[in-house]
Amino acid sequence: MDRLDNTIRPYAWGSPTAIPQLLGVEPTGEPQAEMWMGAHPGAPSRTERGTLVEVIDTDPEKELGPAAVAKFGPRLPFLLKILAAGAPLSLQVHPDLAQAKEGYADEERRGIPVDAPHRNYKDANHKPELICALTAFDGLCGFRAPLEAAALLDDLGVDSLKPYVDLLHAHPEDAALREVLTAILTADREEMARTVEEAAAACTHLGGAYAPYADIAHHYPGDPGVIAAMLLNHVRLQPGEALYLGAGVPHAYLSGLGVEIMANSDNVLRCGLTPKHVDVPELLRIVRFHAADPGVLRPEAAPDGEEVYETPIDEFRLSRYVLPEAGTTHDLTRPTPQILLCTAGTVRAGDHDLTPGASVFVPAGEKAEVSGTGTLFRATVIA
């Protein structure tokens, strides 16, 4: 096993205290948003053998296993993170695999630099993701039923929202959602800023179910994404609960600490709550205008104490072990690569003692025995 030395990304929305508290270190006073574990070229984990990118490149089949290389190519197909949201992230969607390939090829043909601020597709991969709460965790996920969204907007008593309320009563529902989101994102910016200001004041006054939107408006005053956010389901996860976010599902994380895993991609199309580029036509092509329950996941029991978060994709498989007592050993050996992450207590993994926030990379087929008292997350692939 290789103990991982991981990079913490200081994005502005990050909590200055949550990750330091997990790691048991003093805060720096700066936001600490994400700790990356994996072989993403933007911030690969470091080992005594070099970066994890270098380790895998030296012998992909040995590190990843023949089956994973045959299915996903000679790279680790997932990125594992600890995510600490101190403020709302941008409202966003991710493309499916076919859309990502098409969009990437199109922008390559047009010669758009990969680091250009208006570039949508940084690679040709999709980006399904899963967030598992370590603390109470608030987010937005998927569209509300249009009539529910209409009632939420109507009760604000803001005259300029009435046309959206009327549209949400139209049929079919998917067309109503598409028309309203389009209208919100293409409205005159000054007029929309005034609408958002009125809506934010009403949300603050009403509180309750409106409190999350008042907080969003506090962080993003005048942003059309504040109104767009009210079209979505608000979800509060309790520790151990999770959300799976597939292609085309609009979502945003609002606050809390969690373990996140995703396919190894940077493809994001933003809907709002951001100063970054919003490509409305491309966004509307990607969004799936389907109202549904967000589908909170709870882990399902598997053999040997493993608890699995079931998802419909193969690039990652996330599970956890809650180890109640020392002295019991679990054999986690697999023919696929793994990252093991401790989030509570002390866990012995091979020759490594893992405390909260510590992690190891386990090459495919390498003996992986764990014991101790604590919580261990296991990230791997299905190959």
Catalytic residues: 270
Whole-angstrom Cα distance, residue 76 to residue 158?
A: 49
Query: Using an 8 Å Cβ cutoff, are 86 and 255 in contact?
Result: yes
Whole-angstrom Cα distance, residue 232 to residue 153?
A: 12
Whole-angstrom Cα distance, residue 211 to residue 128?
A: 29
137 pairs with which residues across the strands?
Answer: 237
Whole-angstrom Cα distance, residue 235 to residue 103?
A: 31
Closest CA to 118 of 4, 329, 276, 261: 276
1: its two tokens:
């096993």
Closest CA to 316 of 264, 269, 370, 380: 380
Counting runs of H as helices and runs of E as strands, what totals does the chain give?
A: 12, 21
Sort residue 345 into left (φ over 0), alpha (ψ -120 to 50) or beta. left
Whole-angstrom Cα distance, residue 140 to residue 156?
A: 19
Whole-angstrom Cα distance, residue 34 to residue 32?
A: 6
